[in-house]
Structure 1
Amino acid sequence: MSNWRKDHLGTSASEPLPVLIIGNGPSGICLSYLLSGYTPYVRLDAVHPHPLLQRKLAEAPGVSILDQDLDYLSEGLEGRSQSPVALLFDALLRPDTDFGGNMESVLTWKHQKERAIPHMVLGRNLPGGAWHSIEGSMVTLSQGQWMGLPDLQVKEWMCRKRRGLRNSRATAGDIAHYYRDYVTKKGLGHNFVSGAVVTAVEWGTPVSGGSGAPAPSPLFQVSGVLTTEDQSQQPFSLCARNVVLATGTSDSPARLGIPGEALPFVHYELSALEAATRAGTVTPASDPVLIVGAGLSAADAVLYARHYNIPVIHAFRRSVDDPGLVFNQLPKMLYPEYHKVHQMMREQSILSPSPYEGYRSLPEHQLLLLKEDRQAVFRDAQGLQKVFGVALVLVLIGSHPDLSFLPGAGANLAVDPDLPLSAKRNPIDVDPFTYQSTQQEGLFSAGRTKMTMGSCPWRNSSSFSQMASSMRRNWRISFTPSTLTTPTTWTPRSCVITLWSTWGIMRTSWPPWRP
C-alpha cells in the first residue's frame, strides 16, 4: 500500500480526498481510469460508418471528445438508449455493435496527467469486485468483447494470455483476471485499496471558504474496516469532498415479503441448490424444487436442476408472452439454452401437458405463503389458490444494492423516498447528466447502484467523464484546457449507463449447458 493511501486510511485528520469511490468493480475501475487523466480522442485515420457523425467529427480534428459539444455530436443518432449522448459514445466505442458487427472503435485514449484528479477506490475484493466471488468456469452472458474497459480489448488481452473466447463468451475467471490485470497495466493500482468494507458515510454542512468565495461541497466522513495482509482488521476513517457509490446490486437479494419466507428451506442463491444436490437433500425422487422468478438467474437454476434430473416447479408472475421477459431480448443463436427454458415455460404449464417430465411451469402465479410442512400456496390469474409440496425454495427475483452504510440506508436518496430503494424500480434520484444525487451535493451514483439495468463497462466512459467534470467544478481543481474551447455556457453531457447489450453485466451458467 502506498504512503499516500496509508496517510488517508490512518487518520481522519488528513487533507480531504477530492474523490472517494466505494466499489472496485468495472464501474469503479472505469471511473478511476477517467480520473487518472485518460482522455478520449477520435483517431485521425478513423472513418465512422455514420455519415452525419463522421462529418461532425471531422470539424474538430485533434480535439478531445470531452472538449466538444456532445449534444451537437449526438444529434441524429438512433438506437436502444433513451439518452442521445449514450448513443454517441456507443457509436464511438462500438460503431456497429447494435447490428451485430465488430468494427473497431474510432477512439484512441491519451494519458494527460494535467487532467488527473486524486482519488481512492475502496473494495471488499481485489479489483474487479464481485467477479472474484463467481466460480471461475462459469461463462458470461455477454460476449467477451463487451466486457472490456477502455483501451484494452478483452480479445486482445486473451490472446496475450494464450487463451481463447468460447463462442465469443469468456469465463468469469478470465474476466476477473482481466479486470485485475487492467488496473495494473493502466497504472491505477496506487488508487485501489482491497479488503476495505465501508460501514458508515456521513456528511455535514459546507464550510465557507472565506473572502466571499463560494462554499465548497460538504465534506463526507467515510468509516470502515480494512482487512490487512495478515488478516487482522484495522478501522479507518476518511474525509472526502466527493463520494461515488459504485457498489453494484448483488449484495442484498430481493425478497417476496410473504409469510414463511424466513423458513430454513427458503434460499436466495443458486449455490443453495448446488449444496442441497451434493448433500442429497434434493434428488430425482424428492419433492420438487420451487424456483420463483422469470429472469436469467431463475433460468440458470432451472437448467441446473434439469441437468441433475431434479423435479422443478417454476413460478413467475408474468405471462410467458410478456414482451418484457428477458428471453425475448436475447438472440436465439447466441443463447439457445435460455430460449429452451423459455420454450419450457411456455409449453409445460400446469394446464398443458408436454414432453418435459419433471418440470412444471406456473405462469401468472403469485406465491402467497410458505408453511413449515413445506407447502407452498399460490394464487393464479383467476384468483384460485393452489398448494404444492416442495423440498426447497429458491427465490431469484433480483437484488438490491446494500447501502446500509448511508443514513437511513439511502432511502431518502431514492426517486420515491416512501418506497424501498431498488435499482430497478426505485433507484437513487440523480441528475441525468452528472449522476450527482439530487438530494445531496457531492454524492454520485454509478453503474447498477443507480441504473435500472446492468451496464456494459466500455459504455460507462462518458457518464464518468461528466462526473469528473462536475467534481472538478466542485473542488475547483484546475487543468489545462484544450486549444479549442467551448462556450462557457455549455456543459458537457453524460452517457446513460444502461444499454441493451447486457443485463447486469453477466449471468452465469455451467459448461454442461453451453454450446
Structure 2
Amino acid sequence: MARKDTSTHNSYKLSDSSFDRIESTNVLIIGNGPSAITLSFLLAGHWPCYSPEDFPSPNENVTNATLQNIHDRLLYHCAMDSCNHDEYGNQHESISKPKLRSLMESDLREIGENLVGRTGANPISVLMDQLQHPNADFGERNPSMLKWTYRPDRRVDHIVIGSSESPGGIWHAIAKTCSSKLCSNSTTEMLTLSRRSLMQLPVLPIYDDENHQNDSDGELPSDNRVPYRVVANYYRRYVNHFGLDEFFHNHTRATLLDWDPIDQCFIVDASCRKSSSSNQRKYRVRYRAKRVVLAKGTSTMPRMLNIQGETFPFVLHSLTKLDVIIRQTQLLPCWRLPILSTSRTQSPDPILIVGSGLSAADALILLSQRCQRRPLRIIHLFRKSIRDRSLIFNQIATNDSNYPEYYQVFQKMKHSVQNNIHCLECLPHHHSPPSSTSSSKQLSLRFEYYQAYQECILSSIQTTANGHRTATLEFLNKNKSDSTLCCHCNRPINHQLTVRITFALILIGSSPQLDFVNENIRQRMARDSTAPIDHRLNPISIDPYTHECKDVPGLYALGPLVGDNFVRYVQGGALAAANHIYHDERNQNSNYGSIIIDSSNHSSLFDIDDS
C-alpha cells in the first residue's frame, strides 16, 4: 500500500540540531509495559516453538474445542511444509514427522483464522494464550505447550521508550498506590485480578521476591494471586534477566509521532530525563524508525463524563489521585477531614463514588481500610443494573473463594440496592454493620453509611453560596415511575436527587493518551475518523493477524489499545507484530536462509539459569 503524506505541519522538519541526540532504528516501541517487554523479548531473538510430538493425545487430555482446533491446524501446517518433502514433493518416511516449528516463521493467519476467546481478544492473542495456558479457562493449571529457543542471528534492531522509571509501565504507579500504609501499625496490599501464572511473561516465572519462592518447578502456590508490587518488580527483573536493558530507554516520553515523506520513515520526538546523584537533567531526542509500535495501554488518561462541575478540584478521576490526597492528609486521618456538614454534631457529608468496575471497588476498599477510626459515609451510583450480566462482579464475585474482597463489595452493593431509596434528609446516621467475614484475612468493609443507586447517572456537580458541594443524581428512564419514594418519609424523589458531598470519585475507565500522534495519522488509525480513538467505542483499526494499522503501513498497536486487556493476551499481539516484522524483513533480505529450525543447533531458554 502506497503511503500518503500525512503531515500538514512542519513538525518533522524541525532541524535535527534542535535535539540533543538523534537515533535511528528499525523498530521503535512506544510504551514499556508488558506488551512492549514481550515484543522486545521476541525481537531480541527469543522464539516460541511448537512440536506436535509433544502435544498430548487429543483423546486423552484435550477437552477444549479451541485448543483442539489449534492443534489440528498446527499439525496440518507442519505436515504440509515443503521442508518435510523432497524436491519432488514426495513425503519420505525419514522426514515424515514434523520438526520443531517456530511460531515466528509460521503463517499465523492460517493458524489463527477466526479464533475467538471468551473476552473478545484478538485471534493471535487467543492462539498464544491457549498454547501458553492450556485449558486455563476450565480451571486447569497445565504447563505451557511451547518450547523457547534463542536465535540471536534473527535479532531485529529496536528501541523501547517509556515514561516510567523502569520497565513495567503503569504497573509501578499502581503498585505504589496499593502498597501504601493503611494505619500506624499495619500494612496490606491489593492483589492482582488474575492469578500468578496468568501475569507471567514467557519462560520466567513470577515469585515473591521477599520469600524467594520460585515456581520454576511448575507447581503454583494455593494462594496464587500476587500483590501488584511483586508483579511490578517482576517486569523490571524480567528485562534485566534476559539482557533486554540495552533496548530500553526509560524516563522517555514521546511528544510527537509523524511521518517524514522525504526520508520515508517515522519521526518520533521525545523528552527524556536522566537522573544522577547530583541532579536531574532533561534533554530532547529524535528517533527515526522504519516501523513504530504503540504499546502504551489505556490507563494514562481517565475517561470523563463531560458534565457541569467535573473540573472542580474536589472531583477525582483515579485511585492515584485519591492516594495523593490521603498522603497529604486531606482525607486521612479521618478525624481531620476537611469536609462540610450542617452542624458540629452531624455526620460529615458523604463521599460520592461513580462507577461499577473494579476501580470503584478498589476505591471502596481503600477508603474503608484507611478510615477505620472514623468510618465514612458513601454514596455509590452506577449506570448498570445490579443484575446486569456484563457487570464485572456478576462474573468474578459470585462467591468468596477467588476474589473475597470483591465479593464483599458486591454483597454490600446488592444489600444496599435491594433496600428502598432514602432521600437526603432521611439518610441513616448510625454505623452500617461490617460485611460478613470471608475466608480472606482482608479487613471487612466498614462505613458509617453506604447507599448504592443502580441505573443512575451523575448529571452535574455544583458549589453553593454557603460553600457546600452538591451533586445531582438522575435516575434512568427505566426507573422513572410514581413508586420512587423515600422508604422513610414516603416523599417522592422526583427522579432527581441532589446530595451534599465532600469529594467525588468518578471511576468509569480510561482512554488512551495519543495526543502526541499527528492528527492526520490519528484519524487514519481509528475506525471512525471523525471520532476520538477509544478502545471500546472507536478502537484502532488493525489487521488482527499482524496488528498493523490497516491505513498506516508500518504502524502497529498492541495490548489494551486494541482490546487485549489482560497480560495473558498481550503476548499474542506481540507475537503477531513480531511475526509480521520478521517476514517483512526476510522478504527484503534473502540471507535469512531456511525457516525450519533444527532444535539441536540452537540453545534452549530452559537451559538458562533462572537465579
TM-score if structure 1 supplies the norm length?
0.82
Which residue is equivalent to 1:504? Answer: none
Which residue is equivalent to 1:378? Answer: 473
Q: Distance in 1 between matches of 2:126 and 2:414?
A: 34
Q: CA separation of 1:433/1:84 partners in 2, compared to 1, >3 Å: closer, same or farther?
A: closer
- Deviation of 1:468 after TM superposition, in Å, equals 2.1
Q: Distance in 2 between matches of 1:234 and 1:76?
A: 46
Cα distance per residue 1:390-423 (max 9 Å; x no partner): 1110010111111121123935422222222212
Which residue is equivalent to 1:250? Answer: 299
Structure 1 unmatched ranges of 5 or more: 1-8, 208-217, 486-515
- Deviation of 1:460 after TM superposition, in Å, equals 3.2
Q: Distance in 2 between matches of 1:421 and 1:71?
A: 26
| 1:234 aligned onto 2:283 | yes
Q: Distance in 1 between matches of 2:390 and 2:382?
A: 13
Structure 1 stretch displaced more, 393-402 or 274-283: 274-283
Q: How does 1:263-302 map to 2 (within 5 A)?
A: 263-274=312-323, 275=326, 276-278=330-332, 280-281=336-337, 285-302=347-364
| 1:26 aligned onto 2:34 | yes
Letter in 2 for 1:142: S
Q: Distance in 1 between matches of 2:50 and 2:208?
A: 20
RMSD, aligned α-carbons:
2.9
Q: Distance in 1 between matches of 2:472 and 2:405?
A: 30
Which residue is equivalent to 2:6? Answer: none
| 1:17 aligned onto 2:25 | yes
Structure 2 unmatched ranges of 5 or more: 1-18, 63-67, 80-97, 180-188, 340-345, 423-427, 434-447, 481-494, 599-611
Q: Distance in 2 between matches of 1:234 and 1:388?
A: 49
Which residue is equivalent to 1:105? Answer: 144
| 1:347 aligned onto 2:415 | yes
Q: How does 1:88-167 map to 2 (within 5 A)?
A: 88-125=127-164, 126-133=166-173, 134-135=175-176, 136=179, 137-155=189-207, 160=212, 167=223
- Deviation of 1:455 after TM superposition, in Å, equals 2.3
Q: How does 1:89-488 map to 2 (within 5 A)?
A: 89-125=128-164, 126-133=166-173, 134-135=175-176, 136=179, 137-155=189-207, 160=212, 167-205=223-261, 218-230=264-276, 231-274=280-323, 275=326, 276-278=330-332, 280-281=336-337, 285-307=347-369, 308=371, 309-330=375-396, 332=399, 333-349=401-417, 351=420, 358-372=449-463, 373-381=468-476, 382-383=479-480, 384-408=495-519, 410-451=522-563, 454-456=565-567, 458-474=568-584, 476-477=588-589, 479-483=592-596
Letter in 2 for 1:343: Q
Letter in 1 for 2:227: T
| 1:66 aligned onto 2:132 | no
Q: CA separation of 1:35/1:155 partners in 2, compared to 1, >3 Å: closer, same or farther?
A: same
Q: CA separation of 1:264/1:348 partners in 2, compared to 1, >3 Å: closer, same or farther?
A: same
Q: Distance in 1 between matches of 2:469 and 2:530?
A: 34
Structure 1 stretch displaced more, 106-115 or 79-88: 79-88
TM-score if structure 2 supplies the norm length?
0.70
Cα distance per residue 1:452-488 (max 9 Å; x no partner): x5122x4333332321233345553553342389xxx
Q: CA separation of 1:155/1:459 partners in 2, compared to 1, >3 Å: closer, same or farther?
A: farther
- Deviation of 1:78 after TM superposition, in Å, equals 7.0
Q: Distance in 2 between matches of 1:81 and 1:300?
A: 22
- Deviation of 1:343 after TM superposition, in Å, equals 2.3
Letter in 1 for 2:565: G
Residue 100 of structure 2 contacts residue 597 of structure 2 at CA under 8 Å; is this kept in 1?
no
Residue 206 of structure 2 contacts residue 214 of structure 2 at CA under 8 Å; is this kept in 1?
no
Letter in 1 for 2:331: T
Q: Distance in 2 between matches of 1:189 and 1:197?
A: 17
Q: Distance in 2 between matches of 1:272 and 1:17?
A: 37
Cα distance per residue 1:355-401 (max 9 Å; x no partner): 66600001111111100131111111245211111111001011111
State the identity as a percent.
Answer: 31
Which residue is equivalent to 1:508? Answer: none
Q: CA separation of 1:121/1:348 partners in 2, compared to 1, >3 Å: closer, same or farther?
A: same
Letter in 2 for 1:342: F
- Deviation of 1:155 after TM superposition, in Å, equals 4.4
Which residue is equivalent to 2:56? Answer: 47
Which residue is equivalent to 2:13? Answer: none
Which residue is equivalent to 1:87? Answer: 126
Structure 1 stretch displaced more, 98-107 or 355-364: 355-364
Q: Distance in 1 between matches of 2:584 and 2:536?
A: 29
**Residue 332 of structure 2: SS of its match in structure 1?**
helix
**Residue 471 of structure 2: SS of its match in structure 1?**
strand
Instruction: Count residues in correspondence.
Output: 463
**Highest Rg: 1 or 2?**
2
Residue 540 of structure 2 contacts residue 557 of structure 2 at CA under 8 Å; is this kept in 1?
yes
Which residue is equivalent to 1:512? Answer: none
**Residue 103 of structure 1: SS of its match in structure 2?**
coil
Q: Distance in 2 between matches of 1:465 and 1:140?
A: 24
Q: CA separation of 1:258/1:338 partners in 2, compared to 1, >3 Å: closer, same or farther?
A: same
